[in-house]
Structure formats: structure tokens, C-alpha cells
Amino acid sequence: MIEVSVHHGDVDRAFPVLKKIIQREGRWVKMKKQYHEKKSEKRAKKKAEARKKRRYQQARIKQRYSI
């Protein structure tokens, strides 16, 4: 567990210290990789969602008219 002491409510000074500690431990790279996404990956994910949505809508239409 990481602890950073804040004196007199000065969070602005404590935040850079926290970032530096996280970088030393190597967690910064893991966090960055976890949330960063390339543009091409975003596009692929968006297309996949659109395909999924279209298939779902088509299945509902078929189900509605097959009765």
C-alpha cells in the first residue's frame, strides 16, 4: 500500500510525490497500458459493436415476422 502524507491540506504538493512513488514501483506503466488505446483499436472496437448491434436488430426483426 502506498502512503503519502499531506501537510496542512496541501494536496497539490502531495500528488507529484505520489506519481513519483508509483513510477519507481513500476505501476505507472501498467496503469498507462491498461487505459491507453490506439486509434486503430478504438475503430475496430466501434465496428465490432456496430456489427453486434446490427445482428441483434436483424434477429429481432426476423423473430417478429416469423410468428
DSSP for 2-26 reads: -----STT-HHHHHHHHHHHHHHHT
Domain boundaries along the sequence of the chain: 11-65
How does pLDDT run across 9-18, given as a tens digit for each residue?
888 888 888 8
What's the pLDDT score for residue 66? 75
Report the C-alpha gap between 16 and 44 in whole angstroms: 35
Task: Provide the pLDDT confidence category of residue 47 given band limits of 50, 70 and 90.
Answer: very high
Report the C-alpha gap between 52 and 4 in whole angstroms: 45
What's the pLDDT score for residue 52? 95
Give the HSE-up count for residue 53: Cα atoms under 13 Å, Cβ half-sphere: 6
